[in-house]
Amino acid sequence: MASGDKIRVLIVDDVTETRENIRKLLQFESDVEVAGMARTGKEAIQISLDANPDVILMDINMPDMDGIAATEAIRSRQPAVQVVILSVQNDQNYMRRAMLAGARDFLTKPSVGDELISAIRRAGVIAQSERAKVAAAQPVAPAGGVASAGFSYGARGKVITVYSPKGGVGCTTLAVNLAVVLNNDDTRVALVDANLQFGNVAIFVNEQGKNSIADLAPRVDELDVEIVEEVMIKHAASGVHILAAPSRPENAEKVTGDQLAKILEFLRQIYAYVIVDTSSYLTDNTLAAIDESDLIILPTTQEIPSVISSQLFLGLLQTLGTERERVLFVMNRFDKRINITPERVAENLKQEVVAIIPLDEQTVVKAVNQGVPFMPESRGQPAGRGILQLAEKVRARVSALEADGEADRKDRR
């Protein structure tokens, strides 16, 4: 730590007296400074962004969002910020969840002054050395830093757009089922329907007619967790949060490319994966989503028009400066009787086919007509195995990009 730099602390607790007691205690430490105070999890996220503290002292039980969820949200946006959880319960389960969310330390309340101060100092040293590392090693800094218990600290959420220049090849099918498979307690998934005119993600999960992206568009410059949570549809069976397309096609034009980009940028701060479904027509919105993406999933079928359109699109991506390793080329509706094989397509387009999803009408068509994603139930069926293969490739590609320190296209520009 650079000598003379005070450790800046944010105190988060819903009880005024607790906040004040901690603040008074810290007043006596010459190397510590209170950078702010927050009363709720949501307030903590906002104040942390504004004040950019080194250390956050975080209560667990708070009225709106609990301290663990807030920790996860803050750590994904501000990887250098270190969180020390203060809990009334000395509960193993809480402790484990806190660590998974990216907390640095866990103290039981009421904690003695000395114990608290040394935890702050330890966390402060780490925060400041994380910041120094990022500043010093710009070109090759390993994004994300330390990984613990399978949770990649500090990694920003990844935007993954599913796009095909040919319609009807399975973008929505892939986007929906991939979202279901990638979503779990540690990696929360948002599914965005950017097929603004005739998007049907909500129909795939039988949640139509609710809020949509058109409700967020006018508020893109004042987004906060609360506004976003209000608009997202929570798909109960899978836990995936869905940002639906406007329910009427004439409302599509209410969302501009610029607004969509801002929405995706915000969502990636709260979700580990933001999966974007698109229409085959290349609109401003689709280009904005592609531009915002860490990965692009490009499905093709074994039909010449689809293969040729894919080739044209790969050429366009090259012109846009998108590297080939950001594209996951997928063969959908694969039928082994057709002699346009994945190998031949890959060779012709000079783009590896990373996953093959068989033609499996029994699984896929039934699911869409029932409005129930076929994952995870049909994981043993041909289409289900294909989706699992794709999910593995997504995870592997994300880790590879992170290891390259290049996970974020925006940061590299």
Ligand X SMILES: Nc1ncnc2c1ncn2[C@@H]1O[C@H](COP(=O)(O)OP(=O)(O)OP(=O)(O)O)[C@@H](O)[C@H]1O
- Which residues sit at the interface with ligand X, rule CB under 6 A? 164, 167-173, 195, 279-280, 332-333, 357, 359-361, 364-365, 368, 383
Task: Pick the closer one to ligand X by CB: 220 or 364.
Answer: 364
Interface region with Mg ion, contact rule CB under 5 A, candidates 8-16, 170-178, 380-388, 396-404: 170-178
Interface region with Mg ion, contact rule CB under 5 A, candidates 80-88, 168-176, 177-185, 283-291: 168-176
Interface region with Mg ion, contact rule CB under 5 A, candidates 97-105, 113-121, 165-173, 210-218: 165-173
**What does the block give as tokens for 349?**
């387009």
Longest dimension (CA), the chain: 77
* Helix/strand/coil percentages in the chain, nearest 5: 45, 15, 35
In sequence order, what are the beta bridge partners of 300? Answer: 331
Q: Write down the least CB distance from residue 352 to ligand X, Å.
A: 19
How many residues of this chain interact with Mg ion, rule: CB under 5 A? 2
Other C-beta atoms lying within 10 Å of the C-beta of residue 406: 18
Q: Which of ligand X, Mg ion, none is residue 169 near (CB under 5 to 8 Å by kind)? A: ligand X
Distance of CA 256 to the CA centre of its chain: 21
Which DSSP string corresponds to 322-337? Answer: --GGGEEEEEEEE-TT
Contact characters 119-158, Mg ion, x per CB under 5 A: ----------------------------------------
Task: Pick the closer one to Mg ion by CB: 164 or 211.
Answer: 164
Which DSSP string corresponds to 36-56? Answer: EEESSHHHHHHHHHHH--SEE
Task: Pick the closer one to Mg ion by CB: 69 or 171.
Answer: 171
Q: Write down the least CB distance from residue 334 to ligand X, Å.
A: 7
DSSP state of 156: P
**Judging by beta carbons within 10 Å of its beta carbon (0-12, 13-18, 19+), is residue 209 exposed, middle or buried?**
exposed
Q: Decide the pairing of beta strands 151-152 and 147-148.
A: antiparallel
Task: Pick the closer one to Mg ion by CB: 171 or 179.
Answer: 171
Q: Write down the least CB distance from residue 281 to ligand X, Å.
A: 9
d(CA 391, CA 394): 5
CB 178 within 8 A of CB 387: yes
Q: Which of ligand X, Mg ion, none is residue 280 near (CB under 5 to 8 Å by kind)? A: ligand X
Give the HSE-up count for residue 409: Cα atoms under 13 Å, Cβ half-sphere: 19
Which DSSP string corresponds to 87-151? Answer: ESS--HHHHHHHHHTT-SEEEESSPPHHHHHHHHHHHHHHHHHHHHHHHHTTTTPPTT--EETTE
Q: Which of Mg ion, ligand X, none is residue 309 near (CB under 5 to 8 Å by kind)? A: none
Q: Write down the least CB distance from residue 172 to ligand X, Å.
A: 3
Q: Which of ligand X, Mg ion, none is residue 357 near (CB under 5 to 8 Å by kind)? A: ligand X
Task: Pick the closer one to ligand X by CB: 78 or 172.
Answer: 172
Task: Pick the closer one to ligand X by CB: 84 or 169.
Answer: 169
CB 44 within 8 A of CB 12: yes
Task: Pick the closer one to ligand X by CB: 317 or 330.
Answer: 330
Task: Pick the closer one to Mg ion by CB: 12 or 387.
Answer: 387
172 binds Mg ion (CB under 5 A): yes
- What's the one-letter identity of residue 104? R
Distance of CA 47 to the CA centre of its chain: 21
Q: Write down the least CB distance from residue 193 to Mg ion, Å.
A: 9
Which residues are at the interface with Mg ion (CB under 5 A)? 171-172
